[in-house]
Structure 1
Amino acid sequence: MNLEQDVTTTAGEHAGTEEPSTRRTVAQRALRTAGRPEPWRRGPILTVLALLLGLVMVLHAEIPNAGWHLGSLVENLLPWLGLAVLPLLAAALWRRSAAAVVALFLPVTAWLTLFGGVLADKSGPGGDLTVAEQNVDADNPDPDGTARRLAASGADLLALVELTPQSAGAYEKGLVAAYPYHVVRGTVGLWSRLPLGDAQPIDVMDYGPLADTRPADGKAPENRALRTTVATARGPLTVYVAHLGSVRVLPSSGFWTASRDIGVQALGRAVAADGSERTLLLGDLNGSLDDRAFAGLTARMRSAQDTAGAGFGFSYPASFPVVRIDQILVRGVTATSSRVLPDTGSDHLPVAAGITW
């Protein structure tokens, strides 16, 4: 007996008590219900998408970086992949797909494993010094205003990157009252309430394999990193200030990170060879520390935001921050707090941290 005959027979059992129109409605409804897949069979595409999303989070380190650098791109956007759970959940509920709902436990669990601890407030009181960093934007239309806002931050050490010959004077003038000591090398500088010494540039712009990006006039690029020491009451503190090369998404080559990656390696070698007992790295590193490119650096230094912050601490772009590329890393000292400071007029937000011996 086929399905329609079976349903008709079932409906016909009540023929003596129901009107013909009612019997037809019952039969049609039964046919429609019988033709629907069970909840565990509905939404197979949604189920697959949910599982793929979870696997990307769990296995992001296995995504190849050859060619288009998809691995690094995914890792820079990793926290935002959690948002994809919301439309998938809405679609699964609309389709009444039990399989898709259960499959979503994988990306939810993966995201909480990766970032659940980030959401907790790990900051504490106290600290021997407050340090801050900002990319002040080469095209900043009001460097005087940015200098005034930074001077009011209360930081003991203030690292600025993306300085220009035109703007450096404005920062020197605007910060001199709060910071009697400063050093500038190329496009990076450090302002301090404490004496500075032994300042030297660090070469993070080796153009060897990047001949196509060398300035057309043949001039050497502006220096983008420096090392100096701060004389504190607890002994010398070594400070690196760096602005690594930009990254871009290009139609021809995907996520282009070559210049930045060269800088990361050069900076990592400098830090590894540095015998200083206490070291800070302040700068715009043009990448999230989840990016595998920073593995060598983060193996030697700890992120202030990861150890003493609350939330992700996104710093760029200032109008709607979606990624933290401005970093404060420590070695030999402890971060007691980490936070993002208010907008100062740049395209980046400044970041700050308290440190203690």
Structure 2
Amino acid sequence: MAQQAYMTETENGGPGPGRRGATFRRLLGRLVAGWRGDPRIWRRGIVLAALAVILALVMLLHARIPNAIGNTGSLTETFLPWLGLFVPVLLLLALVRRSATALIALLVPAVVWLNVFGGLLTDKTGGGGDLTVATHNVNADNPDPSATAHDVAASGADVVALEELRASAVPVYAKALASTYPYHSVQGTVGLWSKYRIAGVKPVDIKLGWTRAMRATVTTPEGPIAVYVAHLPSVRVKVEAGFTARQRDKSADALGEAIADEKLPRKILLGDLNGTMNDRALKAVTSQMRSTQGAAGSGFGFSWPATFPMARIDQIMVQGIEPVTSWTLPRTASDHLPVAARVRLDTGS
């Protein structure tokens, strides 16, 4: 009966797939028919074709864009995935201009974007794993730290890192998380809460003059792991100076050195790095650790700003550990989204 009703709806002009396909073919046929015999389709849209090639070159050679003026290279790399939005815009303009040259040229940036970011569009999440971790920049001006703490704990994470902790709010977070996480340590403005014993806690000097990074050994049932929590300095976009990130870059280098000197083979980095995995300024860290989102996530996992996430600057990275799945958590009272990941500690090595 349902099949008969569906067939009747389609035969009567309803939204059946066959009718929609026929409508698209008719529209496409009209468009192509309007171009037949037009000798200018290859001469029009040269500027659009040039823009398409430039767009492809920016995405392909972003590492060559210099940082000398306003850190333009890092700014481009921070929002690199969004350059793909220019492809449909140029496509529409090419159709309006009736330019075959521009349409063919658009294949170049489309292919480049898919080559660079296509892997993030597939779901790489898996099952199993030994440990769930989460990190959250809670925002120093968070109006409801208790609710934020409960929201992050609800993720089921075994280990939680919090950044941008205001000293007056630390007791609130500690109280809200105490029943779930019996072990915790706060160093400066970053803190670590764990279901498993913590030892070897120490601040990590990232060249700021105050503590915004820490290191601890977490003893899991599968053995000890080194956990780093970091909040790198913010970057700013200023009219007179461009994308200012010198202090962030200096801190990233110092953090990378600390991680490289770590004696334990299994390491996890949790924190707000104020930069994406494409940002060359984080190379000291990204060159030696894997992003859980890139290895085992689904989609881009943008985490900032919470109202309309445009970049993943909150990271969970691992070394000597296998990512299983990665995801963003629901919005809290912070301006960042929390991010979480599940990892496998026994990698068989």
Using the size of structure 2 for normalisation, the TM-score is 0.87
Question: Counterpart of 2:40 in 1: which secondary structure?
Answer: coil
1:60 aligns to 2:62 (yes or no)? yes
**From 177, 180, 191, the counterpart of 2:179:** 177
One-letter amino acid of the structure 2 residue matched with residue 81 of structure 1: L
Determine which of 82, 85, 101 is the counterpart of 2:84: 82
| Paired residue type of 1:356 | R
1:334 aligned to which of 322, 337, 340: 322
Conserved 8 A contact 2:135-2:271: yes
Q: Secondary structure at the match of 2:54?
A: helix
Whether the 8 Å CA contact 1:303–1:329 is kept in 2: the answer is yes
Q: For 2:287 and 2:47, locate their aligned partners in 1 and report how far apart those are by CA, in whole Å.
A: 40
Matched, 1:256 2:244: yes
CA distance in 1 between partners of 2:261 and 2:158 (Å): 26
Runs (5+) with no aligned partner, structure 1: 1-32, 207-219
Does residue 145 in structure 1 map to residue 133 in structure 2? no
Which residue type is aligned with residue 65 of structure 2? I
AA partner of residue 251 (structure 1): V
Residue 47 of structure 1: how far off its partner (Å): 1.2
Question: How far apart, CA to CA, are the structure 1 residues paired with 2:283 and 2:257?
Answer: 13
Q: 1:2-17 alignment to 2 at 5 Å?
A: none
How far off is 1:65 after superposition?
1.1
> Deviation at 1:339?
0.4
Alpha-carbon contact 1:205-1:224 (below 8 Å) kept? no
Corresponding residue number in structure 1 for 2:270: 282
Q: Contact between 1:238 and 1:279, CA under 8 Å: does it hold in 2?
A: yes
Aligned residue identity for 1:137: N
Q: Is 1:297 aligned to 2:299, yes or no?
A: no
- Aligned counterparts of 2:173 and 2:247: Cα–Cα separation in 1: 27
Q: What does the per-residue CA deviation read over 1:3-23, in whole Å, with 9 as the maximum and x for residues that have no partner?
A: xxxxxxxxxxxxxxxxxxxxx
Q: After the TM superposition, which residues 31-180 of structure 1 pair with which residues of structure 2 at under 5 Å, given as runs?
A: 38-180=40-182
Q: Is the 8 A contact 1:142 1:345 kept in 2?
A: yes
Shift of 1:296: 2.5
The one-letter amino acid paired with 1:123 is: T
User: What is the Cα deviation at residue 318 of structure 1?
Assistant: 0.6
Partner of 1:233: 221
* Paired residue type of 2:97: R
Contact 2:136 2:272 survives alignment (8 Å): yes
Identity %: 54
CA distance in 1 between partners of 2:242 and 2:119 (Å): 31
Partners of 1:148 and 1:89 in 2: how far apart?
A: 46
Runs of 4 or more, structure 1, over 3 Å off, are none
- Give 1 or 2 for the bigger CA radius of gyration: 1
Return the letter of the residue paired with 2:273: L
Partner SS, residue 193 of structure 2: strand
Residues 188 and 226, structure 1, Cα contact 8 Å, conserved in 2: yes
Question: Structure 2: which 5+ runs fail to align?
Answer: 1-34
- Correspondence 1:345 to 2:347: no
RMSD: 1.2
The one-letter amino acid of 1:200's match is: K
1:224 equivalent in alignment to 2:226: no
Matched-pair contact (CA < 8 Å) for 2:257–2:284: no
Q: Find the residue that maps to 1:39 and give its secondary structure.
A: helix
Secondary structure, aligned partner of 2:141 = coil
